[in-house]
């Protein structure tokens, strides 16, 4: 293969890696959100899973930034802002 093809394949592989990491983070956020609902009667568990959700959300945001940065480097690329996944239950939980 030519150097140009190798470079293109390396970039595509990098983007696929970002996408896979982001997908795993979304799955984790959904799991932690579900765990909050399942343990809603135990404030310690709710706090524990809310913390884990926040960590997964921060990781997801970083992964989106990395992938978006790669896409913006393409000539003529137009990126739309990605909506963030928010913890729906945070509005339902009483402040501690």
pLDDT at residue 84, rounded to an integer: 55
The token pair that represents 86 in the structure block: 């928010």
The token pair that represents 24 in the structure block: 């795993």
Who contacts 94 (Cβ-Cβ below 8 Å, separation ≥6)?
none
Q: How far apart are CA 20 and CA 29, in angstroms?
A: 14
Write out the chain's pLDDT in tens, 96 residues: 588 788 778 878 887 887 888 888 889 999 999 999 999 999 999 999 999 999 999 888 887 887 666 665 665 555 454 555 555 555 555 544
Cβ atoms of residues 34 and 86 within 8 Å: no
């Amino acid at each position: 293969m030519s150097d140009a093809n190798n470079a293109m394949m390396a970039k595509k592989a990098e983007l696929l890696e970002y996408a896979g990491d982001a997908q795993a983070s979304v799955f984790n956020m959904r799991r932690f959100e579900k765990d909050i609902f399942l343990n809603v009667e135990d404030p310690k568990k709710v706090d524990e899973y809310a913390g884990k959700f926040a960590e997964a959300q921060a990781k997801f945001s970083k992964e989106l930034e990395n992938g978006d940065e790669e896409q913006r480097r393409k000539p003529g690329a137009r990126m739309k802002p990605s909506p963030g996944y928010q913890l729906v239950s945070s509005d339902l939980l009483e402040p501690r």
